[in-house]
Structure 1
């Protein structure tokens, strides 16, 4: 078992607290967690998969979360494991958040079948601009994340279960989106998002929702406000009669696979052909194997019509590269490294993690 440590920095004290989350608190609570998981497993007629939620910035979320994921992988080697991780604010939450993120992500990539990412900056902006929340709390952030996750995990008709609700959403999601073990990063977009007061006076239609969601996909936008409509796929530019040179002025977000989930009134009338454009996907996969649709006629969380897109694409390249770059800059000057080495982490462990994430970045870059 590979051992590494996580830390939490206390700015007011200038000291480290709770170093050793992975190797101290993880083993300390291992038996209790395994007992709880086993109880739930025994209640299942069939184990569809395991869904974990954790942060990556540092402390209990990343250290204990990764340790528990490792134990789950050891105990249930044939089960699907989907990790939902919350990305730290780019401006900084913890002084060593980039170190902790690099260590966490490099290990999770070996253990998990897929990593579904939420970025705090994006969720915060949704709360501020779309939900019109003036004083944003952790509860507000959590509500947006819960809303997006529920839009995926609520019952739906899938390709494998067109006549009844799926009993294995995690398995079908991973089967649809993770075509290769080198590509495990999943992003999520959900529309519409708005305050309850605005929702009462809003009307939505499927063509409008799907048009915005498709543009969010190709422009790598996290929400419907401020989408760059100048970004187009080569096929879209050609059909508009523009030159091939113009089509490359702004690069678009290339996908390996997309899962579109539609919920609400008249869902059977929604036309999803825009997501079947071969130009959206890598050429070495058949488009019919890269795009899936789930539907439900039931309105979701007060929205008469709503659409969610879970995607395996290049949109997380920039935030991942930023984390690796910042962590490397700190590591190059050996900032805070001694706080890790004295608890058992060596510099080679850092280098191995950097190498693993650089390989992931390279793989997504060269799709």
Structure 2
């Protein structure tokens, strides 16, 4: 099965390079889901990727970087296919409308042709992974347009969008407009949206990795390690294997060396991160507990604050385990009904792979459809409403054919989404 990665804009292309580096290094050999043979009987492989940007500089830079790394690396070399690059000579200038209404129609045929050629290289096509930012004009505006076009061109194919949420302090002055406009389109045309926040990635670099002034390369490396854990091959397993019940309840635990990692410890921390809405271990509050009542007696409309006084409720979770013992690890705590709405049935799925994840002896990843994005989305809404009320920068959007009704529709869509998630 082949998965085609579409890298859009500066942020998406830089993230894409980091992702393929991660996938190639974390697996024993470059996984065929994301790489294909460059030539018959050759160890060299090409990434199953299409690179899109409205300026050639970034694409040229990462293509050169991949070639240089391939020459220097002691692993199987990978490169990009020169026939899968789509670039123009004028950027979007952080203008969502220019990306969506201007560059979108202009470059659509070229992008779809490149994507079609890559899809045809797949024995079995498994869908798309879209890498894009939410703040700028190309990744956000053009990205939204291309996701909409892909849904029309490949109506039954899976589309997963991996979105970079900008620093809330402000990378781009109109970023709140761009974030809401993009998300409103993605929720209509993508099957899934993964949101990663630059603020949280930077905090992980500083507190866990000791990188005091993280670069975008540092941030991307953290993001793709989490994404790679979810994307690499695995198999579905039950939440509670039948033999595990006997082992957990009756058989004493095997003696372990002091330095050994255990699934119990790993999953205990991951579960607490989930129920507190924490993105890293150091910020989670161990005092936050699930309600003791079997009935969900939680206050509706309340979600985690900085103090994490309320639990982070989930709609559904996908738990991915990699490493020895992943098929028998006890994950029943993640199926606790108190973590989910009372009407949700079978909200937990578990995937496992006995192969270790790169340098990690064991690794657990969690894709959670939960309330953790409610607060940043609410803040973006408030700021965008205030700017819109004062008509700030609207002329930049209107001059490319956008109308005020498009803003109204996007705001209403995200406001409704925030309300529904806050009431889980």
TM-score, shorter chain, exceeding 0.5 = yes
* 2:371 alignment counterpart: 314
Provide the C-alpha distance between the structure 1 equivalents of 2:290 and 2:198, rounded to a whole number of angstroms.
Answer: 29
Q: How does 1:42-191 map to 2 (within 5 A)?
A: 42-159=120-237
1:113-136 deviation per Cα after TM superposition (whole angstroms, max 9, x unaligned)? 111110000111111111111331
* 1:179 alignment counterpart: none
- Mapped contact 1:218–1:252 kept (Cα < 8 A): yes
Report the 3-state secondary structure (helix = DSSP H, G, I; strand = E; otherwise coil) of the residue aligned with 1:216.
Answer: helix
Report the 3-state secondary structure (helix = DSSP H, G, I; strand = E; otherwise coil) of the residue aligned with 1:108.
Answer: helix
* 2:117 alignment counterpart: 39
Provide the C-alpha distance between the structure 2 equivalents of 1:360 and 1:295, rounded to a whole number of angstroms.
Answer: 31
* 2:321 alignment counterpart: 262
* 2:333 alignment counterpart: 274
How far did residue 23 of structure 1 move?
2.0
1:82-141 deviation per Cα after TM superposition (whole angstroms, max 9, x unaligned)? 111100101110000001111111111111111111000011111111111133111111
Of 375, 386, 400 in structure 2, the residue corresponding to residue 343 of structure 1 is 400
Report the 3-state secondary structure (helix = DSSP H, G, I; strand = E; otherwise coil) of the residue aligned with 2:312.
Answer: coil
* 2:265 alignment counterpart: 208
* 1:283 alignment counterpart: 342
RMSD: 2.3
Identify if the C-alpha distance between structure 1 residues 259 and 18 changes in structure 2 by more than 3 Å, giving closer, same or farther.
closer
Report the 3-state secondary structure (helix = DSSP H, G, I; strand = E; otherwise coil) of the residue aligned with 2:420.
Answer: helix
* 2:93 alignment counterpart: 17
* 1:185 alignment counterpart: none
Is 1:224 aligned to 2:281, yes or no? yes
How far did residue 278 of structure 1 move?
0.8
Q: Which runs of 5+ in 1 are unaligned?
A: 1-15, 161-200, 239-243
Provide the C-alpha distance between the structure 1 equivalents of 2:325 and 2:342, rounded to a whole number of angstroms.
Answer: 33
Aligned length: 304
How far did residue 219 of structure 1 move?
0.5
Identify if the C-alpha distance between structure 1 residues 203 and 140 changes in structure 2 by more than 3 Å, giving closer, same or farther.
farther
Of 358, 366, 390 in structure 2, the residue corresponding to residue 301 of structure 1 is 358
* 1:197 alignment counterpart: none
Report the 3-state secondary structure (helix = DSSP H, G, I; strand = E; otherwise coil) of the residue aligned with 1:215.
Answer: helix
Provide the C-alpha distance between the structure 2 equivalents of 1:104 and 1:269, rounded to a whole number of angstroms.
Answer: 40
* 1:252 alignment counterpart: 311
* 1:168 alignment counterpart: none
Following superposition, which runs of at least 4 residues in structure 1 exceed 3 angstroms of deviation?
16-19
Q: Which deviates the most, 217-226 or 20-29?
A: 20-29
- Mapped contact 1:232–1:250 kept (Cα < 8 A): no
Q: Which has the larger radius of gyration?
A: 2
Is 1:324 aligned to 2:381, yes or no? yes
* 1:6 alignment counterpart: none
- Mapped contact 1:69–1:112 kept (Cα < 8 A): yes
